[in-house]
């Protein structure tokens, strides 16, 4: 049986093929015992597997051969896996890097100029190494070429996106350290790139605005000094003009960068930093005489108002300066009003109106010079006049009429400047004519007596000759402040004449208006004088039934009839009014009153003393 099994095992084709195969290199000749045992074992394994296949299936063991490949992969040696090598500098750039660290000054400059074009292609680690090797090139004591190459290389380094907050803090500290004054434009350009034009301040969030405030003040003083030197030099040389131009360009770029920082990163500025910035901006506005400086400062303030808020303690000073610029600098009226408009339409709108009114109403000490006070008052009046042309529907706050009138009367009593009084009359004219031939809504159904009394007091500060008044009535322009005031007064008189003669849906207090016109009778045009005489005759103002009939009669007698500068028609109308008054007095028959007209006519050239008529008429 065993022989038969053995013969069967030798007749297996697979075994036969294996026996006749050529041996592999390095394999020894198989022994007969081994081949025999292998064949017998193969037959036994086949028989055993056939029996197992007929038995019931068993649960697979966790250590079965199916899991072996996974186990072999997990426990595979690490040497079989590919290793990712970190990227580094190329061989050519490595040579430049070595020269940057250890080369001569000229070699370091050349290496810096070579490496700045390749920094964007490498990861962060080589960039940090380059930064450490190159940051000493920007020392103020280094040559100009070395500093320029160093600034350009460091500027490229700070553009790397993978820098951490600590690394950006180190960049910021290095770039903002004291540097050579000639390198300020390079220093500013590097800081602009580090912050992505004010958009990214991580690593130095609350340090940037105070730094820029300090730089702004220093740069402005440098520009002022350069301008002063250039003005002292007769026929300023090209070198002086170039120096001023370069410093002014640096200042303009600093203003522009500051606006970007406020626009994109105002949340990173705390209130003390913003307050310090506003102080410096106001100081620049008050000390400069160059419109570009004013325009740039206003633009920064406008950015603060638009994207943030002005601190409460700095709001008053800011409004004082902006209103003064709006009033005095005609070419910057649009810019200053744009900022004031944003303030008025913001949450500080009511506070802004109150500050403007307080400028007019509050008593002022001797802390400020009279020139500064007049400038602030005129600025407040100009802004209030502009504000009254706006409506609440447009988002602007209303102006309280009572506080406004109180402020105007206070200024009239204390003001000494003719220009300030002229500004008051301009504001009053804006109340009675809104530019469309209508009264301003602020004075409708209000008492006009106080505001017209203030206007009359303004006219009493000026004394002009009759021929000068006639020239003003004919709208001939002149530059004298006194004549400008009277011109505004005549505009008001003509407007009031229209109001008392036209029929409108609004109540017009005619007695109050006529009382004002009688106080400024010497400035009345003939048409307005005729309106006053008509009113006197219509309401018997020169008759004893009127409480002020004597004063009115004296006004007609001296102000209209006795004024030979008046036209003949006005003088005849005045004479008719006087004669009507005499007839009424005759009817009354009161002896004490007889003495009023029994004496010769003092204003009559013929001094006829007749009751039934005047020869001079």
To the nearest whole percent, how much of the chain has pLDDT over 90? Answer: 61
Residue 506 per-residue DSSP state: S
| pLDDT band with cut points at 50, 70 and 90 for residue 472 | low
In a domain, 396, yes or no: no
How would residue 592 be classed by pLDDT, with cut points 50, 70 and 90? very low
How many Cβ atoms are within 10 Å of 458's Cβ, its own excluded?
27
Stretch among 36-40, 318-322, 501-505 having the lowest mean pLDDT: 36-40
Separation CA 209–CA 280 (nearest Å): 12
pLDDT for position 312: 95
Q: Residue 187, exposed/middle/buried by CB under 10 A (0-12, 13-18, 19+)?
A: buried
Q: Which of 304, 207, 299 is nearest to 251 (CA)?
A: 299
pLDDT category, 93, cuts 50, 70, 90? Answer: confident
Distance CA 101, CA 107 (A): 10
What pLDDT shows up at residue 411? 94
What is the tally of structural domains in the chain?
A: 1
Whether the Cβ atoms of residue 160 and residue 127 lie closer than 8 Å to each other: yes
- Tell me, yes or no, whether 131 lies in a domain: yes
pLDDT at 607: 43
> Band of the pLDDT at 125, cuts 50, 70, 90?
confident
Query: What pLDDT sits at residue 202?
Result: 94
What's the pLDDT at 28?
A: 46
**365, part of any domain:** no
Is residue 323 within 8 Å of residue 358, measured between CB atoms? no
- Asked if residue 133 belongs to a domain, the reply is yes
Evaluate whether residue 139 is within a structural domain. Answer: yes
Name the residue range of residue 145's domain: 86-179
Q: Which residue has the higher pLDDT, 507 or 472?
A: 507
- Long-range (24+ apart) CB contacts under 8 A made by 244-252 are 246/185, 247/219, 247/222, 247/223, 248/223, 248/292, 249/185, 250/184, 250/185, 250/188, 250/219, 251/216, 251/219, 251/220, 251/223, 251/293, 251/296, 252/292, 252/296
Q: What is the pLDDT of residues 491-520, one digit of tens each?
A: 999 999 999 998 888 899 999 999 999 999
Per-residue confidence band for 597, with pLDDT thresholds at 50, 70 and 90: very low
d(CA 92, CA 121): 14
- Residue whose tokens read 């090598």: 85
Provide the pLDDT for residue 163.
Answer: 86
Sign (positive or negative) of CA dihedral 463, 468, 470, 476: negative
pLDDT in tens, 321-372: 999 999 999 999 999 999 999 999 999 999 999 999 999 998 665 556 888 8
Decide if pLDDT at 594 tops 60: no
* Residue 151 within a domain: yes
How many of the other CB atoms lie within 10 Å of CB of 245?
Answer: 12
Identify the DSSP state of 88.
Answer: -
Residue 128 has a pLDDT of 87
For 197-252, how does the pLDDT look when each residue is reduced to its tens digit (9 = 90+)? 999 999 999 999 999 999 999 999 999 999 998 888 766 567 777 778 899 999 99
Residue 469 has pLDDT above 80, yes or no: no
pLDDT recorded at residue 589: 64
Residue 473 has pLDDT above 70, yes or no: no
Q: How far is CA 115 from CA 93, 110, 134, 262, 267, in A?
A: 7, 9, 10, 34, 36
Beta carbons of 229 and 240 less than 8 angstroms apart? yes
Kindly indicate the confidence band of residue 116, based on its pLDDT and cuts at 50, 70 and 90: confident
**According to DSSP H, which parts of 520-599 are helical?**
526-538, 549-554, 568-588, 591-598
pLDDT (tens digit, 9 = 90+) per residue, 297-307? 999 999 999 99
Choose between 83 and 240: higher pLDDT. Answer: 240
Q: What is the pLDDT of residue 610?
A: 45
Minimal CA–CA distance to 206: which of 141, 266, 117, 137?
266
Checking if the pLDDT of 611 tops 50, the result is: no
329-353 residues labelled b (16+ CB within 10 A) or e (exposed): beebeebbbebbbbbbbeebbebbb
Encoded tokens for 487:
């011109």
Q: Residue 14: what pLDDT?
A: 44
For the ranges 125-134, 399-408, 558-567, the maximum mean pLDDT occurs at 399-408
So what's the pLDDT on residue 88?
60
- Which DSSP category does 31 fall into? P
- At 35 the pLDDT is 43
- Predicted confidence at residue 369, as pLDDT, reads 81
Between 278-287, 315-324, 357-366, 552-561, the lowest mean confidence (pLDDT) is in 357-366
pLDDT confidence tier of residue 279, bands split at 50, 70 and 90: very high
pLDDT of residue 352: 97
pLDDT of amino acid 470: 66
Supply the pLDDT for residue 551.
Answer: 93
How confident is the model at residue 606, as a pLDDT?
39
Confidence tier at 383 by pLDDT (50, 70, 90): very high
Q: What is the pTM of this model?
A: 0.78
Q: Is the per-residue pLDDT at 7 higher than 70?
A: no
What's the whole-number mean pLDDT along residues 64-89? 39
Q: 81 falls in which pLDDT band (50, 70, 90)? A: very low
The DSSP secondary structure of 219-273, one letter per residue, reads HHHHHHHHHHHHHHSTT--HHHHHHHHHHHHHHHHHHHHHHHHHHHHGGGS-HHH
Q: Is residue 560 part of a domain?
A: no
Higher pLDDT, 107 or 123: 107
Report the share of the chain in percent with pLDDT over 70: 76
**Domain annotation covers residue 136:** yes
How far apart are alpha carbons 216 and 158 in whole angstroms?
A: 23
CA dihedral 501, 506, 512, 515 (to 10 degrees): -20
Mean pLDDT is lowest, of 33-37, 287-291, 332-336, 402-406, for 33-37
Average pLDDT of 572-589?
A: 88
Mean of pLDDT over the chain? 82
Q: Residue 107, exposed/middle/buried by CB under 10 A (0-12, 13-18, 19+)?
A: middle
Local confidence band at 86 (pLDDT 50, 70, 90 cut-offs) = very low
């Amino acid at each position: 049986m065993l022989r038969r099994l053995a013969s069967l095992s030798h007749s297996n084709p697979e075994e036969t093929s294996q026996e006749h195969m050529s041996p592999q290199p390095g394999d020894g000749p198989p022994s007969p015992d081994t081949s025999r045992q292998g064949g017998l074992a193969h037959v036994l394994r086949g028989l055993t597997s056939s029996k197992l296949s007929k038995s019931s299936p068993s649960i697979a063991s966790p250590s079965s051969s199916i899991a072996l490949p996974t186990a072999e992969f997990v426990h595979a040696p690490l040497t079989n896996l590919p290793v990712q090598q970190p990227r580094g500098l190329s061989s050519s750039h490595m040579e430049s890097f070595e020269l940057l660290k250890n080369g001569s000054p000229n070699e370091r400059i050349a290496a810096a100029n070579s490496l700045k074009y390749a920094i964007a292609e490498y990861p962060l680690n080589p960039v940090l190494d380059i930064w450490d090797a190159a940051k000493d090139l920007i020392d103020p004591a280094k040559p100009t070429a070395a500093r320029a190459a160093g600034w350009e290389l460091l500027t490229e380094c700070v553009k790397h996106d993978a820098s951490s907050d600590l690394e950006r803090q180190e960049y910021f500290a290095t770039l903002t350290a004291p540097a050579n004054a000639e390198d300020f434009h390079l220093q500013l350009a590097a800081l602009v790139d580090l912050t992505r034009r004010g958009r990214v301040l991580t690593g130095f969030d609350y340090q940037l605005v105070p730094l820029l405030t300090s730089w702004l003040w220093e740069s402005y003083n440098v520009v002022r000094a350069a301008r002063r030197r250039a003005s002292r030099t007769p026929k300023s040389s090209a070198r002086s003009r170039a120096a001023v131009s370069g410093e002014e360009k640096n200042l303009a770029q600093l203003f522009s960068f500051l606006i970007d920082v406020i626009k994109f990163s105002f949340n990173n500025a705390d209130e003390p930093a913003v307050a310090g910035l506003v102080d410096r901006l106001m100081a620049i506005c008050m000390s400069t005489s160059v419109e570009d400086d004013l325009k740039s400062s206003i633009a920064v303030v406008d950015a603060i108002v638009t994207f943030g808020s002005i601190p409460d303690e700095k709001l008053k000073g800011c409004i004082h300066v902006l209103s003064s610029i709006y009033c005095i600098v005609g070419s910057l009226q649009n810019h200053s009003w744009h900022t004031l408009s944003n303030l008025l339409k913001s949450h500080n709108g009511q506070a802004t109106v109150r500050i403007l009114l307080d400028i007019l109403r509050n008593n002022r000490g001797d802390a400020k010079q009279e020139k500064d006070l007049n400038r602030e008052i005129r600025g407040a009046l100009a802004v209030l006049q502009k504000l009254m042309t706006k409506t609440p529907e447009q988002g602007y706050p209303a102006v309280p009429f009572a506080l406004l009138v109180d402020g105007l009367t206070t200024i009239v009593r204390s003001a000494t400047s003719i220009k300030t009084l002229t500004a008051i009359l301009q504001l009053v004219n804006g109340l009675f004519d809104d530019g469309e031939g209508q009264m301003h809504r602020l004075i409708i159904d209000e008492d006009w007596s106080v505001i017209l009394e203030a206007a009359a007091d303004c006219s009493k500060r000026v004394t002009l000759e009759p021929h000068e008044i006639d020239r003003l009535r004919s709208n001939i322009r002149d530059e004298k402040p006194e004549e400008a005031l009277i011109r505004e007064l005549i505009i008001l008189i003509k407007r009031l004449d229209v109001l008392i003669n036209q029929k409108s849906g609004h109540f017009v207090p005619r007695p109050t208006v006529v009382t004002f016109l009688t106080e400024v009778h010497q400035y009345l045009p003939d048409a307005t004088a005729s309106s006053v005489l008509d009113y006197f005759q219509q309401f018997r103002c020169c008759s004893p039934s009127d409480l002020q009939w004597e004063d009115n009669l004296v006004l007609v007698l001296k102000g209209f009839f006795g004024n030979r500068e008046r036209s003949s028609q006005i003088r005849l109308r005045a004479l008719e009014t006087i004669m009507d008054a005499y007839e009424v007095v005759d009817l009354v028959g009161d002896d004490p009153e007889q003495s009023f007209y029994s004496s010769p006519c003092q204003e009559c050239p013929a001094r006829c003393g007749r009751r039934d008529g005047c020869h001079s008429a």
